[in-house]
A = this chain, B = another copy of it.
Amino acid sequence: MGELYLEDFAVGLRFISETHQIDAGQIKAFARQFDPQPFHLDEAAAQTSFFQGLAASGWHTAAITMSLLVKSGMPIAGGLIGAGGEIQWPKPTRPGDVLQVESEVLEVKPSRSRPERGMITVKSETKNQKGEVVQILTSKMLVWKKTAHSQA
């Protein structure tokens, strides 16, 4: 698939990423740096916690989701530039989980003030190997217009 401009997007367009397998080492390494809480760092402590077992930081799931989107999930021309969005973690990500991101375009909106660009709203569900949704991200992303781009 080539790089996509605003004109290439339509509501309902879907993308499926490659997969990434997470393990306990990755979970602990991310947690040590960014989310040093016992349930992300230590199996025994995690067992008696809310999570009842080692769980990845939600921000780790988010970061892996981004890496899958960047590498394989959605080839936006000029890159994936997010302005923000909503994020939910319905279930924890566990060691051994194989994550994959399914994205769907919810809205395509040319900018009123900036003729060369627009925004798309994309819902990205990150699923594990059982098909369970571990993260739902609804994000607004900047997309360039092809016409404006080729004139630049």
B36 and A79 contacting across the interface, CB-CB below 8 Å: no
Known: A34-B63, A63-B59. A84 touches B79 (CB 8 A): no
Residue A13, interface by CB 8 Å: no
In-complex Cβ contact of A66 among B59, B70, B82 (8 A): B59
| Interface flag for A96 (CB, 8 Å) | no
Chain B CB within 8 A of A15 CB: no
CB contacts (< 8 Å) of A136 on chain B: these are 84
- Complex formed: what's the CA distance from A38 to B66 in Å? 14
**B residues near A30, Cβ cutoff 8 Å:** 63
Nearest chain B CB to A86's CB is how many angstroms away? 5
Query: Is there contact, CB below 8 Å, between A84 and B86?
Result: yes
In the assembled complex, the Cα of A99 lies from the Cα of B35 at a distance in Å of 16
Point out residues on A near B: beta carbons under 8 Å: 30, 33-39, 49-50, 57-59, 62-64, 66-67, 70-71, 78-89, 136, 142
